[in-house]
Amino acid sequence: MCFDPHAVGWSRRGGLGFISRAETHNPGPRGYPIVGCLMEMGTQAHRKLARLARDYGAESLMALSMGSTRLVVASSPETAREILHSTAFSDRPIKQSAQQLLFARAIGFAPHGEYWRRLRRIAANHLFSPKRIAAHGAARLHECNLMVETLNALSSMVDDGHVTVRKHLQHAALNNIMSSVFGRRFDFYSPEGERLKEMVREGFDLLGAFNWADHLPLLQPLDPQNIYGRCANLVPKVVAFVQNIIDEHRLDASLAKDCNAEMDFVDVLLGMEGDDKLSDADMIAVLWEMIFRGTDTTAILTEWILAELVVHPEIQSKLRQELRNVVGDAKSITEAHIACSPYLLAVVKETLRLHPPGPLLSWARLSTRDIHVAGHLVPAGTTAMVNMWAITHDEKIWENPLEFRPERFTSGDGGVEVDVKGSDMRLAPFGAGRRVCPGRTLGMATVQMWIAKLVLEFEWSMSSKQPVVLDEILKLSSEMRQPLEACIRRL
């Protein structure tokens, strides 16, 4: 038998993804036989995919195989909009680890349909509504105040005020979400807090790991990276932990029926009636997901902003001046002050542009039917990614894209207002369309409040022991390769 590589697309797409359907003639790299472009998907996949898209003149849409996965990648705002807003891309492909770790029943990975809509509606009304976000303001500030005191104590133990901030940001972010969702905080140095931290860390590792078996199904029974094994070990611990909190809430509710205390999200889920009522297993999935989505993105973004402020002391001073003018003699900073601080918002936007926590928008989309995108046929069952990092670093869209210049977003400095919450595809770090991030307003409110407080309380400068390296590593989110170390001085 004569093997004609061109007939089935082998020469164009080394992997198996694009041979199972008719060749779509989308431009893209060939990759290696069987594995296709799997090698490109390392810890800086966004950079590699951006380079490939440029090399192949495929910014609008690039097609490649990752083993048996058919993948298209959009690196232009126009195609990003087509994909994110299309009803054909309302599903997500689910990784083996996410499936095992219960996420198929949570908002992020539930298939588009009635159940997913119900979860979004419940979360929109009871966790992410403006009223709810405002009501949680004091708790957000409380977490930051505790972090400020810890950093202050640590820095005063050394001559140069040297601190490593990541752990403290993670603790604050985790307790921030735990208090809003579960109604309680944890001491991360107690056995229970340690257990929670360890479960979350293991979950992040497993979800962030690039699992070859996701794209080469023959490997699945072999579990070469031990991902299946580790997930199987973690799940019962998670279920026991979250179930215990649900049971505590049930008990509290039965003991104090007429109590008017602020309801947390577990109370809300337990109070659902009729069609909205969730089983305990579904509640566990939804609550567990919130811990993930709410913790790492917030901590990672705050760390990136602080790093940029250390590298750019003049921007840090300008920001502090704005905040001092706005806060004046007030005892404490409030959401109202934040709303009057356009430079603060510009600093956050510029960091989202240079260091989007989800450079490939975290979780991809899946086509549920054959559809044309940017003039190319994308068959049903194709994974679609938006390379937001490529868009936010494109010199055709952004002047001097590698420069950190918040002024590009302030009209007083000749900049332009750009909405980051999903309406402008030049900067859509929270995605867009039906599956846009539902936590974006909460995430922005938290990060702005924490940065304002940390900049008002401390002067941040470069450590002589460990200079700031603005290089990233893509795990579940894109975090600083070397955790930020800086010297702080209480103001």
Q: Is 437 annotated as a binding residue?
A: yes
Q: Does 345 bind ligand HEM (CB under 6 A)?
A: no
Q: Does 443 bind ligand HEM (CB under 6 A)?
A: yes
Asked if 473 and 44 touch (Cβ cutoff 8 Å), the reply is yes
Task: Identify which of residues 93 and 294 has a Cβ nearer to ligand HEM in the complex.
Answer: 294
Candidate segments 135-143, 182-190, 367-375, 429-437, binder of ligand HEM by CB under 6 A: 429-437
Among 293, 353, 355, 408, binds ligand HEM (CB under 6 A): 293
Number of residues that bind ligand HEM (CB under 6 A): 30
Among 14, 29, 342, 358, binds ligand HEM (CB under 6 A): 358
The single-letter DSSP state of residue 20 is S
Q: 69-74 and 472-474 as β-strands: parallel, antiparallel, unpaired?
A: unpaired
Separation CA 201–CA 211 (nearest Å): 17
Span 450-469, contacts to ligand HEM by CB under 6 A: none
Candidate segments 156-164, 326-334, 367-375, 436-444, binder of ligand HEM by CB under 6 A: 436-444
Q: How far is the CB of 177 from ligand HEM (least distance, A)?
A: 6
Separation CA 8–CA 27 (nearest Å): 15
Residue 80: partners with Cβ closer than 8 Å, 6 or more residues away: 74, 386, 388, 391, 425, 428, 432
Q: Does 439 bind ligand HEM (CB under 6 A)?
A: yes
Separation CA 237–CA 252 (nearest Å): 23
Span 103-132, contacts to ligand HEM by CB under 6 A: 107-108, 120
Among 182, 265, 343, 430, binds ligand HEM (CB under 6 A): 430
Q: Does 286 bind ligand HEM (CB under 6 A)?
A: no
Select the residue whose beta carbon is closest to ligand HEM and give its number. Answer: 431
Asked if 417 and 349 touch (Cβ cutoff 8 Å), the reply is no
Q: Does 72 bind ligand HEM (CB under 6 A)?
A: no
Q: Does 431 bind ligand HEM (CB under 6 A)?
A: yes
Asked if 38 and 206 touch (Cβ cutoff 8 Å), the reply is no
CA angle 168, 173, 179 (to 5 degrees): 125
**Helix (H) or strand (E) run with residue 181 in it:** helix 166-181
Task: Identify which of residues 68 and 176 has a Cβ nearer to ligand HEM in the complex.
Answer: 176
- Could you give the C-alpha distances from 79 to 73, 375, 376, 387, in angstroms and in order? 9, 10, 11, 10
Q: How far is the CB of 362 from ligand HEM (least distance, A)?
A: 5
Residue 107 amino acid letter: I
- Provide the annotated binding site for heme: 437
Residues binding ligand HEM (CB under 6 A): 84, 107-108, 120, 177, 289-290, 293-294, 297-298, 301, 357-358, 361-363, 429-433, 435-440, 442-443
